[in-house]
Amino acid sequence: MQETETKPDLVDFDHHSLAFAADPFGTAAKLREVRHVRSEEHGGFVVAARYEDVHRTALDAATYTNGRDTEDPIKLGVQLPPSEAAGNIPEESDAPYHTAYRRAMAPYFTTRAAKASEARLQHWTDVCLDEVVEKGTFDVVTEMTGPIAFLFFCEMLGLPVEEWRRWYEPLHELQTTTPNTPEQRAAIDAERENGAVMEQYVRDRREQPQDDLISRLAEARGPDGELFTVAEVAAMSRIIILGAVDSVGSLVSQAVNYLADHPDEADRMVAEPEYMDSAIEEFLRYFSPGVTTMRTVGLPTTFGPHPLAPGARMMIMWLAANHDPEVFEDPDELVLDRAPNKHVAFGAGVHKCIGLHYARMEARVFLKELLTRMRGYEVVPEGTEPLKTIGLFTGFHTLQIRFTPGERVQDDRMPGRIAA
Ligand code: HEM
Per-residue pLDDT reduced to its tens digit, 115-138: 999 999 999 999 999 999 999 999
pLDDT at 68: 62
Rounded-to-integer distance, Cα 255 and Cα 284, Å: 9
Per-state percent for the chain, helix, strand, coil, to nearest 5: 50, 10, 40
Q: Is 393 in the pocket of ligand 1 (CB under 6 A)?
A: no
Q: Check residue 307 and give left, alpha or beta (phi > 0: left; psi -120 to 50: alpha).
A: beta
Q: Which residue among 120, 353, 357 has the greatest number of ligand 1 atoms within 8 angstroms of its CB, and so is best to mutate? A: 353
Which amino acid type is present at position 363?
A
Q: Is 287 in the pocket of ligand 1 (CB under 6 A)?
A: no
C-alpha 384 – ligand 1 centre gap (Å): 26
Bridge partner residues of 297 (DSSP):
64
Number of Cβ atoms within 10 Å of the Cβ of 332: 12
CA nearest neighbour of 77 among 402, 389, 361, 340: 389
pLDDT at 332: 97
Q: Is 355 in the pocket of ligand 1 (CB under 6 A)?
A: yes
Rounded-to-integer distance, Cα 32 and Cα 280, Å: 25
Which ligand 1 atom sits nearest the alpha carbon of residue 316? 15
Nearest CA residue ID for atom 20, ligand 1 = 353
* Res. 179: pLDDT tops 80: no
Predicted confidence band at 382 (pLDDT cuts at 50, 70, 90)?
very high
pLDDT at 338: 98
pLDDT at 288: 98
Cα 265 from chain centroid? 25
CA nearest neighbour of 230 among 213, 247, 217: 217
3-state SS assignment for residue 397: strand
Which amino acid type is present at position 36?
H
Which ligand 1 atom sits nearest the alpha carbon of residue 348? 15
Nearest CA residue ID for atom 7, ligand 1 = 346
* Res. 272: pLDDT tops 60: yes
Nearest CA residue ID for atom 19, ligand 1 = 353
3-state SS assignment for residue 398: strand
